[in-house]
Amino acid sequence: MLNKKEISDRVLIQEHFANEHLPSQMSAEVIADYKARIKQLLKEKDACLVAHYYTDDVMQELADETGGCVSDSLEMARFGANHPASTLIVAGVRFMGETAKILSPEKRILMPTLEATCSLDIGCPVEEFSAFCDAHPDHEVVVYANTSAAVKARADWVVTSSIALKVAEHLADEGKKIIWAPDKHLGSYVQRESGVEMLMWDGMCIVHDEFRAKGVHDMRKVYPDAALLVHPESPASMVELADAVGSTSQLIKAAQELPNKQFIVATDRGIFYKMRQAAPGKEFIAAPTGGSGATCRSCAHCPWMAMNGLENLLHVLETGDQEVHVDAALIEDARKPLQRMLDFNAQQ
Ligand code: SF4
């Protein structure tokens, strides 16, 4: 049974989908032509392409083939900040473009489309979140990277899924209580593992929220030797069954290191591109989702990540359209909790 907030988030998300523009299907010749033109323009415009693991294979190929990077959101921003290019093209979703701008304010940040957002970002509007924080001033505010620049600016810490647990353990050791936002599944996982006292925002990722333990039980009858890899944005019932739980980078490592030849993977299937590179010869199968009636129309693929295509990528390179702008004062405030995480990570 959905609560009121979940229903209103889902209405917002469905309205968004009604206006979405997905890339069109192309023949191999047309794809090759687009790729050649994009590669040429990346050079001419002194631009570097950074792509998230969840984008379509062709985006990841282009980033790999042009000296860019394919990674998680934090590494994308870090790579972009250290790259000499004056323009970064961020193939991912809006908060990733904003994070790149926060860490590289002097650079021009373009995205194939600024319409690509995230259900976690949509479900955590800054006014409501600030009021929630104001009502609990004795709590340290920890927000996930999947939030707007304005929500980051309200936080004490920004964390990614790869470092969330370590930060929570550190805060628990210091006797701190925390406000966690926005992903309730990742928050519950971090709370269970770290024991930190936590007040939780009620948000979710529409892709991971749809993975179902029951489906995994059925699937294991077909693939009895497969290991289950689970991103902690998935429900607790999935995490309980997992052979490995972790961030995107940690799951790729697990695919490489576990001896199994088959893997049922509970995260966006865009990650298969890098898993196949990291563990050639192994087989990756998308974990089962809730199916009909769900807002996730994507079967383990984020509909916003899927909006990054060759046509809109070429268009922004030609026109400079779809530039990410973040207010200078907001950059300053949002950078502090991000920098805190980077410094904490460097000490680990
Ligand atoms: S996969 Fe989920 S968390 Fe990632 S961008 Fe899509 S909706 Fe957001």
Structural domain total, the chain: 3
Largest Cα separation within the chain, whole Å, is 60
What six digits make up the tokens of 320?
A: 């400079």
Q: What is the mean pLDDT of residues 175-194?
A: 97
Q: Assess if residue 102 is contained within a domain.
A: yes
pLDDT single digits (tens) 227-254: 999 999 999 999 999 999 999 999 999 9
Atom 8 (ligand 1) nearest CA:
118
- Any atom of ligand 1 within 6 Å of the Cβ of 69: no
- Looking at the fold, whether 17 and 108 belong to one and the same domain comes out as yes
Instruction: Report d(CA 314, CA 90) in Å as an integer.
Output: 13
How far is Cα of residue 173 from the mean position of the Cα atoms in its chain?
28
Residue 289 DSSP one-character state: B
Give the residue whose CA is nearest to atom 6 of ligand 1.
302
Q: How many CA atoms lie within 13 A of 197 on its CB side?
A: 9
User: Residue 245 maps to which CATH number?
Assistant: 3.40.50.10800
The verdict on the CB of residue 206 being under 6 Å from ligand 1 is yes
Q: Which residue has the tokens 């299937």?
A: 269
Answer yes or no: is 335 within a domain.
no
Tens digits of per-residue pLDDT, 64-79? Answer: 999 999 999 889 988 9
What DSSP element (H or E) covers 138?
A: none
In the chain, what is the straight-line distance between the N-terminal and C-terminal CA atoms, in Å? 41
Q: 92 and 55 in one domain?
A: yes
Q: Is 183 near ligand 1, meaning CB less than 6 Å away? A: no
Please report which confidence band the pLDDT of residue 295 belongs to, taking 50, 70 and 90 as the band edges.
Answer: very low
Task: List the domain range (segments joined by +) for residue 94.
Answer: 4-117+304-327
Cα 339 to ligand 1 centroid, rounded to whole Å: 23
Q: What share of the chain is helix, strand, coil (3-state, %, to 5)?
A: 50, 15, 35
234 and 158 inside one domain: no
Tens-digit pLDDT profile for residues 204-214: 999 999 999 99
224 and 135 in a common domain: no
Quick check: is 56 in a domain? Answer: yes
Average pLDDT estimate for 46-58: 97
The pLDDT tens digits of the residues spanning 13-36 come to 555 555 555 666 789 999 999 999
DSSP letter for 183, please.
Answer: B
Domain boundary among 152, 181, 205: 205
Q: Which of 25, 91, 98 is nearest to 59 (CA)?
A: 91
CB atoms within 10 A of CB 18: 6
The verdict on 85 and 136 lying in the same domain is: no
Q: Is residue 220 part of a domain?
A: yes
Residues 13 and 90 in one domain: yes
Per the domain annotation, does 24 fall within a domain? Answer: yes
